[in-house]
Structure 1
Amino acid sequence: MSYKFTYSIYRRPFRQPLKTSHGVWKIREGIIIKLTDSLGRSHQGEIAPIEWFGSESIDRARSFCEQVGDRITTTQIHQIPDDLPACQFGFGSALTAFSTTPAQTASHFNTSALLPAGEAAIDRLQTLATQGYATFKWKIGVLPIDREVAIWHQLMAVLPANAKLRLDANGGLTEIAAERWLELCSQAIRIEFIEQPLGLDEIAKTIELAAKYRTPIALDESVATFDRLQIVYDRGWRGIYVIKPGIAGFPWRLAEFITRYQLDVVFSSVMETAVGTAAAYQLASELKIERSLGFGVADWFDD
């Protein structure tokens, strides 16, 4: 089947820069695509790359859209190469929307709110808790570890009794620092997991740490794209997988892999718009994902 194809590029400034161990992110750029069939029905998809996470760059995604022209077929969508995973998801989710019934809306899911790095997280956590959030993610590996540990103690003091905290290192910890965090958190039952403590290639050491400490470990950068996901599973990781659908390739392929191996999955945002978020929620509903989804990021943008 052939579809009329149009697209538009957006630039969304963050309300405040997002600081991670990878650096500072000030503007989210992406592409909204639209497919229209012969009956006049239209569905949107979103291409929201994060190059430093392993996807294509926004320039490569824009170049691909330019090359498509004003029409694209189902066969051409299925042939989008694996080095364009954000394009695969954007086109793939728009295509599948023609044959699926819209699933549950965001209100049916528990979501995890993203806190700012550093001390600003303390006041923000208390504000978000009054809005009903019960799971929070805080970036570590951004400041010196002694300072972050001190802030962590303050966060735990204001964390509601029924809430959970996820610590996300974005692969920015040394092995010594990772062990310190894992030991600190081992008696803190409200710590859901530490996310990507070591670099994306340090799978063997991460598996060792997961066996050594009570604190659960989740992988994020190491499983960011579909090929990485396969490699990490084949190397023996059986812990938590934090998957960003927006850069994980074709949604049907991702769903089949998660289902086949019964992975323990968290879906997480790539700071996309409502278009990409809706596609991720659709997939989460189909897979019946139970862990809180990491999409509590709306307050990071003014729009």
Structure 2
Amino acid sequence: MMLSDFSITKHELRYKNPFTISGKTFTSKEVFYITLTDQEGCRATGECAPFPQFGTESVEAAGILLKSLSAEKINPGFLQGIKAKYPAVHAGMEQALLQLRMLHGERTESLFPGIRLKSSVKVNGVTGISDYESTISKIRGLLAEGYHVIKMKTGRPDPEDDIETVKRVRGELGYDFGLRLDLNGAWDVQKTCKYLPKLDQYNIEYVEQPVQLLHDFLHIKGCSSIPVAADESLMSFLAAMNIIENELAQVFIIKPAVLGGVTEALRIISLAEANGIKPVVTTSLESSLGKRMAVFCAAALKEDIHCGLSTAGMISNDPTTDIYPVNSGVISLGNHLL
């Protein structure tokens, strides 16, 4: 495919409520929209959403690379060369290129042999860290909207407050819905081994990233019956292989926008499914344009798994219309647009 034009637009996404990951609080995020035009006049746009906390290049590094490019420089060899060092740029470039190929009539079956997309994807609801009453009220509202699985952010300064919150949620709202916990690396090994077993009785589906370092996953093995999910530690295909070989996690949180794009995410999904690891696809708080990559990958899962795709509403100034809104806890795919 020959390109005739290339352009970038920088956007600052502003979040309605601050969120904290690995000790860093975010109120906004800078992303780049990459627009490619081919010689037939077809135009497509992909999103580059750097997230260094998840192993991508920085916004500054992505910007320098993108500003140095021209349509003539973008080819398969170039893309392969930047994949490891610039996964966010690669993801945005790949998204735009895949769109162009689809505009020219290529179908999913030819782009990704062996992949069969579902017509809909189940989605989990999300609640942030708050006081007991607000957390319970938020979850009650999500259940009323039709969500059947809830991911609850945890990692309060006092772990006992997390334990008490889970206890009250189950006590007041019952066990008729799935409950996932996301610690974002807030605990160390000692805290994890002390407090995670206290949650065993509450039927937790899994806990995401209880400790920051992948090495520490080794030291929390067996301390609780709750499955552990690798999130921030799952930065590449090699990291995925390492986790599987050392039996460090039972769940993979797969973020296409930070792993290098759809193709790499699908490789990791295939690896997980072949090794009995549960793959859960989520966004990484990019705009609704980048969200399309995550929805596409979630639809490719063999099992019917609730995925983390309800984040578009967290952005107050989304530059793109969300073509995959959540209705009653479900996203309908329609024409499988990227």
Q: What stretches of structure 2 of length at least 5 have no aligned partner? A: 109-115, 318-338
Equivalent residue in structure 2 for 1:232, among 238, 243, 262: 243
Q: Select 1:297's aligned residue among 307, 311, 326.
A: 311
Matched, 1:199 2:201: no
SS in 1 for 2:45: strand
Aligned CA distance change for structure 1 residues 170 and 236 (closer, same or farther; 3 Å): same
1:164 counterpart = 2:165:
no
Structure 2 equivalent of residue 281 of structure 1: 295
| Contact in 2 for aligned 1:186/1:213 (Cα 8 Å) | yes
Q: What's the offset of the Cα at 1:157?
A: 2.9
1:132: Cα distance to partner?
1.3
CA distance in 1, matches of 2:207, 2:249: 15
In the alignment, the residues of structure 2 paired with residue 202 and residue 175 of structure 1 have an alpha-carbon distance, to the nearest angstrom, of: 7
Cα distance change on mapping 1:231 and 1:161 into 2, 3 Å? closer
Maintained 8 Å contact 2:281/2:297: no
Which structure 2 residues correspond to residues 33-182 of structure 1 after superposition, within 5 A? 33-71=34-72, 72-97=74-99, 98-99=101-102, 100-101=106-107, 108-119=120-131, 120-159=134-173, 161-182=175-196
- Give the match for residue 19 of structure 1: 20
The answer to whether the Cα contact below 8 Å between 1:267 and 1:293 also exists between their aligned partners in 2 is yes
Aligned residues between the structures? 298
- 1:6 and 1:237 map into 2 onto residues whose CA distance is 42
CA distance in 2, matches of 1:182, 1:116: 19
Question: Which whole-Å deviations, capped at 9, do the CAs of 1:29-59 have from their partners, x for residues lacking one?
Answer: 1111122222222222111111122211111
Q: Which residue of 2 aligns with 1:32?
A: 33
Residue 148 of structure 1, CA deviation: 2.2
The 1:64–1:158 alpha-carbon spacing in structure 2 relative to 1, beyond 3 Å, is farther
Q: Which residue of 1 aligns with 2:285?
A: 271
Check 1:226–1:161 CA distance in 2 against 1; reply closer, same or farther (3 A cut): same
Change in 2 beyond 3 A, CA 1:257/1:268: closer
1:135 and 1:181 map into 2 onto residues whose CA distance is 23
Aligned to 2:225: 214
The answer to whether 1:6 aligns with 2:46 is no
Q: Which moved more, 1:144-153 or 1:70-79?
A: 70-79
C-alpha displacement of 1:258: 2.8
| 2: CA distance, partners of 1:160 / 1:110 | 21
Alpha-carbon distance in 1 for matches of 2:228, 2:124: 17
Q: Is the deviation greater in 241-250 or in 139-148?
A: 139-148
CA distance in 2, matches of 1:89, 1:269: 13
What secondary structure does 1:56 align onto? coil
**Are residues 1:252 and 2:273 paired?**
no
Mapped partners of 1:185, 1:109: distance in 2: 29
Q: 1:289 to 1:68 in 2, by over 3 A?
A: farther
Encode CA deviations 1:165-210: one digit per residue, 9 max, x unaligned.
1111112212232124431222222x1101111222313224x23x
d(CA) in 1 for partners of 2:268, 2:117: 22
1:229-263 Cα distance to aligned partner (Å, 9 max, x none)? 23323333351111111101242233234324524
Pick closer, same or farther for the CA change 1:188–1:152 going to 2, 3 Å: closer
User: Does the 8 Å contact 1:126/1:158 carry over to 2?
Assistant: no
Matched to 2:11, the amino acid is: Y
| Distance in 2 (alpha carbons) for counterparts of 1:214 and 1:141 | 19
Runs of 4+ in 1 over 6 A off after TM superposition: 102-105
Q: Which moved more, 1:175-184 or 1:292-301?
A: 175-184
- Three-state SS of the structure 2 residue aligned to 1:187 is helix
TM-score normalised over the length of structure 2: 0.80
- The sequence identity of aligned pairs, in percent, is 23
Distance in 2, Cα, partners of 1:167 & 1:238: 15
Deviation at 1:70, TM superposition (A): 4.1
Shift of 1:289: 4.9
Take 1:95 and 1:80, find their aligned partners in 2: how far apart are those partners? 15
Over the aligned positions, Cα root-mean-square deviation in angstroms equals 2.3
Q: Deviations over 1:121-176 (max 9, x none)?
A: 22221222221112221222233112222222222234454311111111221223
Structure 1 match to 2:327: none
